[in-house]
């Protein structure tokens, strides 16, 4: 199986020893505590689940600046996006060496992790702007990722952590949330060597379905990992439970048995386009996948990135030896009226725009909210029905 990123073995930071975990939980109740941002809590979950292998905790300012500038830590580890614990107020933890990190996304703010403080540093406005420009390619507050980053605060609390739970992801998504270890174990149990991963924060329409099938055939994959983001999204995106139900129905009805793993991971969407695509590749390499599908406007938002910038970064900026996972670069896919099937648009140069069935996201939402059936060439009827129930409930 493919090796994890930057390590011979996966290095999850979750405390699997039950007795030790209970002891740490008791100890944490008497520690100075910091209420995390949702972004920092998501980083802790990903560290705990092994997706951030080989990181040992939150980065300091020098790490963050180096990663932002050249996608490497000062020690030389390839990494595309700083892993930070930024906060606005450090007065509750001043002078502390070990602190309890509390979960902002669960009632009562239980302890999510314990951190050993290596440093508390205040980023300058220039440093924060530099990181934002490098990671998101913009500081425009209309960009949801840049806006979130700008509001996190300027105090960076760095140091290793021990993770005590996986926040709300295990309880809210027991059938879907999986750690990188769990996915690796399932791949190994099946004896699969080639697994192609598909990242999604949206329901999967007909074109997404066929893209997974095309990629599986093109790389002769044993299986497809449909890996959905379960964390926080921007306003207007479809909630994870609705996406989960729609994707599972599609897989149940339209994929061969035992050819797809439907799973999810606990992270907040960054909308960082090319940089986030590289981070997605690391997640999937750590989960044991051999390939990642990178499609049109992968991890993008609005008009902030070119349609294929997330593919170009792997050719132009990612060193050849940085990653072991391979990228399956996909064009926009759509149903061809001429060929009566879904195709990548680059493979149909004789087609005009009228030859394809394509609907904008806005048009899809309007039709579903109005109870209008989507064309079967665009969406499977069983999937459309799940989405329609959600949009009609939202419209009430």
Q: What is the number of alpha carbons within 13 Å of residue 306 lying toward its C-beta?
A: 6
Share of the chain above pLDDT 90, in %: 81
142 and 187 co-located in one domain: no
**CA distances, 241 to each of 176, 229, 233, 246, 253 (Å):** 10, 11, 13, 9, 19
**CA distances, 159 to each of 69, 293, 301 (Å):** 21, 33, 32
Is 63 part of a structural domain of the chain? Answer: yes
Q: What is the mean pLDDT of residues 173-180?
A: 96
26 and 50 co-located in one domain: yes
107 and 76 co-located in one domain: yes
Residue 136 near residue 145, CB atoms below 8 Å:
yes
Active-site annotation holds for 21:
no
Is 360 part of a structural domain of the chain? Answer: no
Active-site annotation holds for 365:
no
Q: How confident is the model at residue 360 (pLDDT cuts 50, 70, 90)?
A: low
Is 85 part of a structural domain of the chain? Answer: yes
Q: How far apart are CA 314 and CA 275, in angstroms?
A: 10
Name, in order, each residue with C-beta under 8 angstroms of 128's C-beta and a sequence gap of 6 or more: 149, 150, 154
pLDDT tens figures, 198-237: 999 888 888 899 999 999 999 999 999 999 999 988 877 7
Q: Is the pLDDT of residue 359 over 90?
A: no
Residue 200 near residue 240, CB atoms below 8 Å:
no
| pLDDT given for residue 396 in this prediction | 62
Active-site option among 154, 202, 365, 389: 202
Domain count, the chain: 2
| pLDDT given for residue 331 in this prediction | 86
Q: How confident is the model at residue 96 (pLDDT cuts 50, 70, 90)?
A: very high
Q: What is the mean pLDDT of residues 117-138?
A: 98
Is 5 part of a structural domain of the chain? Answer: no
**CA distances, 9 to each of 12, 114, 183, 267 (Å):** 10, 23, 14, 22
Structure token pair of residue 59 = 């980065």
Domain that holds residue 254: 175-265+271-333
Residue 333 near residue 206, CB atoms below 8 Å:
no
Name, in order, each residue with C-beta under 8 angstroms of 369's C-beta and a sequence gap of 6 or more: 391, 392, 394, 395
| pLDDT given for residue 333 in this prediction | 85
Q: Is the pLDDT of residue 364 over 90?
A: no
Active-site option among 184, 201, 216, 275: 201
87 and 206 co-located in one domain: no
257 and 135 co-located in one domain: no
Q: How far apart are CA 319 and CA 80, in angstroms?
A: 12
């Amino acid at each position: 199986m493919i090796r994890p990123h930057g390590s011979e073995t996966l290095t999850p930071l979750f405390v699997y020893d039950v007795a030790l975990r209970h002891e740490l939980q008791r100890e944490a109740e008497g520690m100075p505590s910091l209420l995390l941002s949702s972004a920092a809590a998501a980083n802790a979950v990903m560290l705990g689940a092994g997706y951030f292998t080989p990181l040992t905790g939150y980065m300091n300012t020098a790490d963050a600046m180096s990663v932002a500038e050249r996608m490497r830590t000062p020690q030389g580890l390839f990494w595309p996006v700083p892993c930070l614990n930024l906060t606005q107020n450090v007065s509750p933890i001043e002078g502390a060496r070990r602190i309890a990190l509390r979960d902002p996304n669960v009632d009562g703010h239980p302890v999510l992790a314990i951190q050993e403080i290596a440093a508390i540093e205040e980023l300058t406005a220039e440093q924060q702007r530099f990181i934002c420009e490098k990671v998101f390619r913009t500081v425009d507050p209309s960009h949801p990722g840049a806006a979130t980053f700008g509001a996190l605060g300027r105090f960076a609390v760095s140091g290793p952590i021990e993770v005590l739970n996986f926040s709300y992801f295990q309880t809210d998504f027991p059938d879907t949330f999986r750690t990188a270890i769990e996915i690796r174990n399932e791949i190994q149990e099946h004896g699969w060597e080639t697994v192609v991963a598909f990242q999604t924060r949206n329901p999967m329409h007909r074109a997404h379905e066929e893209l997974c099938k095309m990629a599986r055939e093109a790389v002769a994959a044993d299986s497809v990992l449909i890996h959905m983001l379960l964390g926080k999204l921007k306003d207007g995106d479809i909630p994870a439970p609705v996406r989960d139900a729609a994707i599972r129905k599609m897989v149940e009805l339209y994929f061969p048995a035992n050819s797809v793993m439907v799973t999810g991971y606990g992270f907040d969407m960054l909308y960082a386009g090319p940089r986030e695509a590289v981070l997605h590749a690391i997640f999937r390499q750590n989960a044991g996948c051999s390939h990642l599908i990178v499609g049109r406007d992968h991890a993008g938002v609005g008009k902030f990135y070119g349609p294929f910038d997330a593919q170009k970064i792997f050719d132009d900026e990612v060193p050849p030896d940085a990653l072991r996972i391979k990228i399956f670069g996909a064009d926009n896919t759509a149903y061809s009226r001429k060929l009566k099937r879904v195709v990548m648009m680059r493979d149909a140069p004789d087609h005009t725009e009228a030859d394809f069935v394509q609907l904008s996201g806005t048009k899809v939402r309007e039709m579903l909210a109005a109870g209008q059936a989507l064309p079967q060439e665009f969406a499977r009827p069983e999937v459309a029905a799940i989405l329609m129930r959600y949009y009609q409930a939202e419209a009430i």
